[in-house]
Amino acid sequence: MRTVQELEERLASPSAALIEELSQLDGDIMLLGVGGKMGPSLARLAVNAIRQAGLNKKVIGVSRFSNKELRRELEEAGVEIISADLSDNKALQALPETQNILYMAGNKFGTTGNEHFTWMMNAYLPGRVAERFRNSRMVVFSTGNVYPFTPVSQGGATERTSPNANGEYGQSCLGRERIFEHFSHKNGTPMFIYRLNYAIDLRYGVLLELARSVREGLPIDITMGHANVIWQGDANEIALRALLRCSSPPNVMNITGPETLSLRWAANEFGRKLGIEPIFTGAEAPTALLSNAAKAAATFGYPRVSLAEMIDWIGDWIGQGGETWNKPTHFQEREGKY
């Protein structure tokens, strides 16, 4: 991949499994919060899968759309656009009845000093959305930040691990889950709680941040020495296929790659590709924010894109000066302050 167009095409290329499963899904698909990092490629993937399956379904993208160029691009890709602020109750109630909802709205960065807004977005708004779409099935985006740190040797938190979020962002995300869970019980709404960490694109993500630090000769703090990653195209596929696996009470699943990734090892791999010796500071802590994705692998199969491929692609992308986004993950954060 040498251009953004090639990257977008790969992210929006559906698998045979996705095409087959969307053929079994009744109703249109609405993405609430489509304007974030994952939303645009997820919407394009849904449109392409529907077209290749020969289905008569709409993909509806809802966002405030402060970025007018993104709105135009999505419309050209075949996404039906609704410009709306979900926190405006009148706008929320005016959204069309849609059988399949992907809830992607939320707030993370800028939480510190603005905690009230994060709690409104992550824990209050979900209740209103859950009531509004009580008759739909819903895939609810969440995060591995609801879990406590676990020993690296244990392979990550499983869905049976008791949540114990570190910091107000993670706590508010657990609040989001609990609110949706409540309304799933109350109204019988089938839901899927999608605990993601960390999605990887060539323009942002944990691996890109490591590669850029290596290339620029910046010291890499490896106190948070390990992480999980998954190619964004695979994460998008799973989000759509999850619509067929919603239940009441909600089906909860960790969505990430199978490896416990050593950040020191990954940085050294980028150093080898770029011909630069990485600079490290700190030492690996015995615990990290890790998720065990065995349940997802058993349900959806292993990701189509391997860790080795991600590292190769990002190394090449950085080496050729490919476009990047200034959207850091703050994967090094151990105090839960975002």
3-state secondary structure 121-183: HHHHHHHHHHHHCCCCEEEEEEEHHHCCCEEHHHCCECCCCCCCCCCHHHHHHHHHHHHHHHH
What tokens does 99 get? 């059988």
Asked if 326 and 230 touch (Cβ cutoff 8 Å), the reply is: no
What's the confidence (pLDDT) of residue 216? 95
Over 273-301, what HEC string results?
A: HHCCCCEEECCCCCEECCECCHHHHHHHC
* Separation CA 120–CA 111 (nearest Å): 11
> What are the tens digits of pLDDT across the range 30-42?
999 999 989 999 9
Q: What phi-psi label fits residue 176: left (phi over 0), alpha (psi between -120 and 50 degrees) or beta? A: alpha
| Position 107 pLDDT exceeds 90 | no
> What are the tens digits of pLDDT across the range 136-185?
999 999 999 999 999 999 999 999 999 999 899 999 999 999 999 999 99
Count of Cβ atoms closer than 10 Å to residue 211 Cβ: 28
Count of Cβ atoms closer than 10 Å to residue 143 Cβ: 24
* Sign for the pseudo-dihedral over CA of 106, 242, 230, 142: positive
What's the confidence (pLDDT) of residue 338? 77
What's the confidence (pLDDT) of residue 332? 87
Give the DSSP H or E segment for 223: none
Q: What angle do CA 121, 68, 198 make, to 5 degrees?
A: 50
| Mean model confidence pLDDT for the chain | 95
Average pLDDT over residues 96-111: 91
What tokens does 290 get? 């890790």
* Sign for the pseudo-dihedral over CA of 161, 165, 169, 173: positive
Count of Cβ atoms closer than 10 Å to residue 54 Cβ: 8
Asked if 146 and 180 touch (Cβ cutoff 8 Å), the reply is: no
Q: How far is CA 50 from the centre of its chain?
A: 21
| Position 285 pLDDT exceeds 80 | yes
Q: Which of 86-95, 105-114, 189-198, 288-297 is least confident? A: 105-114
What's the confidence (pLDDT) of residue 114? 87
What's the confidence (pLDDT) of residue 328? 83
Q: Provide the whole-model pTM.
A: 0.95
Model confidence at 11, pLDDT cuts 50, 70, 90, reads very high
What's the confidence (pLDDT) of residue 196? 97
| Position 308 pLDDT exceeds 90 | yes
Pairing type for strands 226-227 and 261-262 reads antiparallel
* Separation CA 131–CA 93 (nearest Å): 10
| Position 20 pLDDT exceeds 80 | yes
| More confident position, 10 or 67 | 10
By three-state DSSP, how is residue 219 classified? strand
Q: What angle do CA 297, 301, 304 make, to 5 degrees?
A: 110
Token match 């709105």: residue? 71
What's the confidence (pLDDT) of residue 330? 83
| Position 307 pLDDT exceeds 90 | yes
Model confidence at 214, pLDDT cuts 50, 70, 90, reads very high
Count of Cβ atoms closer than 10 Å to residue 113 Cβ: 8
Model confidence at 239, pLDDT cuts 50, 70, 90, reads very high
Over 43-68, what HEC string results?
A: HHHHHHHHHHHCCCCCEEEEECCCCH
Q: Residue 289: phi, psi to the nearest 5?
A: -85, 100
The number of CA neighbours under 13 Å toward the Cβ of 41 is: 27
What's the confidence (pLDDT) of residue 240? 98
